[in-house]
Structures are given as C-alpha cells and as structure tokens.
C-alpha cells in the first residue's frame, strides 16, 4: 500500500488533499494521452506546502460564503430532540457537529450561532490549525471527488468515513492514524496507474 506522507505540521490534511488533486490530475492527463513532464507528489515539498495553504483558504471561503447553503447528498437533519421536524443539512450544520464534538458550545440558531461558526473559521484559516471531517467534506464537494477515510485496525485498514457528491469524478483515500495525522494512500490500482503515467513519481512506502 503506497503511502504519500504529509509533513506533520498541523496542515497534514490539507497537504494530503492537495496531493490527491495532483495525483488525480496526473491520472486524468495520462488517460487523455497528455505527456506528463512534471508533477510534485511529495508531502514535504515546499511547493505542495504552499499550495496546501491555498487549499485551506478555499475551504474556509466555501464555508464562510455559504453557511446556510444545503449540502447535497446528506439527506435530512432533525433540528432538535424535542421535535420531529426535519430539514436538509446545511454547511453550517457540518461545522456545528464538529464544534460540538470538540467540546464547543454552539447556539442552535441566531446571531450567536453565526458568530461561533465564524470564530471557528477564523481559527481554521490559520496555518497549523488541524483539520478534520468538515474540511475533507468541503474538499469532496468542491472537487467532486469521493473521499474515503481509513484507520488502522486489528485486521488491517478499516473504513471509518466516506463523503462526496452523488456522482463523483474520482476517489481519494486518506489514512488517519486515529489521533492527529492524515496521509494520502493509494491502492494497488491507483499506484500502478500513477507509475505508468509518470515513472518518476515520488511515492514513499
């Protein structure tokens, strides 16, 4: 299982997602018969690190400009425990879920809820702030790629999450250590295709 390691600098998720885009681009160009002269598939390369910061900014903007926009493919969301009324999932709901999981107090509605979310986004925008479920979900919907997250288990890797559009253009697999780090990993099919497309690709094992 080839793993493309991401530098452990607090931005490993964004680095891994940026690497995934690079791999997807290489494979798409190869499938179209375009010669691959250059690509950077190295989670410690300075160009990838800088590009990962742009990825972070893009995800923050996606949320900031659309907290009240519906997230496609997520079904309905029960608004509270004392009512049966349901509504579609909104981008802000994804943030709220993560904030509650992290121990933050999140008002159910109104200006204070919005303020809490923008405070979260302000922290998210800072280089070194760790990303998780809301961030790779945003990436999946922006890039139209399905994201699968795996974690080491007793019997090998275990799929712990899967998000993306209803008709994804491709697949991204992330390896989460269960605590605080993400890497990109490639299954045998993707790895072989990448090596054939660009034999000099930097894939660490």
Residue 99 lies in a domain: yes
* Domain assignment present for 202: no
Q: What is the CATH number of the domain that holds 167?
A: 3.90.70.80
Determine which helix (DSSP H) or strand (DSSP E) holds 146, and give its type and residue range: strand 146-153
pLDDT value of position 76 = 65
Read out DSSP for 76-112? EEE--TT---EEE-BHHHHHHHHHHHTT----SSSHH
Domain tally, the chain: 1
In a domain, 82, yes or no: yes
Both structure tokens of 74:
């997520």
The verdict on residue 49 lying in a domain is yes
What is the pLDDT at residue 38? 66
Give a yes or no: residue 144 inside a domain: yes
Burial class (CB in 10 A: 0-12, 13-18, 19+), 175: buried
| Total-model pTM | 0.83
β 146-153/156-163 pair status: antiparallel
Mean pLDDT, contiguous 10-residue spans, the chain (205 residues): 82 91 79 70 70 91 93 66 69 89 82 90 91 93 93 90 89 90 83 65 43
In a domain, 205, yes or no: no
Pair 204, 41: CB distance under 8 Å: no
pLDDT at 25: 79
Would you say residue 113 lies in a domain? yes
Domain that holds residue 84: 3-197
State the pLDDT at residue 64.
95
- Calculate the CA dihedral of residues 17, 8, 203, 1 and round it to 10 degrees: -80
The pLDDT of residue 43 = 60
In a domain, 10, yes or no: yes
Crossing angle of helices 91-101 and 133-143, in 10° steps, is: 160
């Amino acid at each position: 299982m080839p793993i493309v390691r991401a530098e452990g600098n607090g931005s490993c998720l964004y680095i891994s997602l940026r690497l995934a885009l690079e791999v997807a681009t290489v494979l798409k160009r190869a499938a179209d018969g375009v010669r691959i002269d250059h690509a950077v598939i190295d989670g410690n390369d300075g160009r990838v690190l800088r590009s990962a910061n742009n990825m972070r900014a893009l995800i923050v903007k996606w949320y900031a400009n659309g907290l009240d926009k519906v997230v496609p493919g997520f079904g309905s969301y029960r608004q509270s425990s004392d009512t049966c009324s349901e509504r579609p999932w909104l981008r802000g709901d994804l943030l709220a879920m993560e904030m509650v999981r992290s121990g933050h107090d999140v008002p159910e509605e109104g200006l204070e809820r919005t303020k809490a979310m923008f405070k979260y986004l302000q922290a998210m925008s800072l280089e070194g702030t760790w990303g998780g479920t809301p961030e790779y979900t945003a990436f999946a919907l922006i890039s139209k790629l399905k994201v699968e997250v795996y974690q080491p288990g007793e019997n090998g890797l275990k799929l712990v999450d899967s998000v993306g559009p209803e008709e994804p253009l491709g697949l991204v697999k992330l390896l989460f250590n269960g605590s605080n780090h993400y890497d990109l990993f490639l299954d045998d099919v993707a790895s072989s295709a990448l090596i054939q497309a660009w034999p000099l690709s930097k894939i660490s094992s």
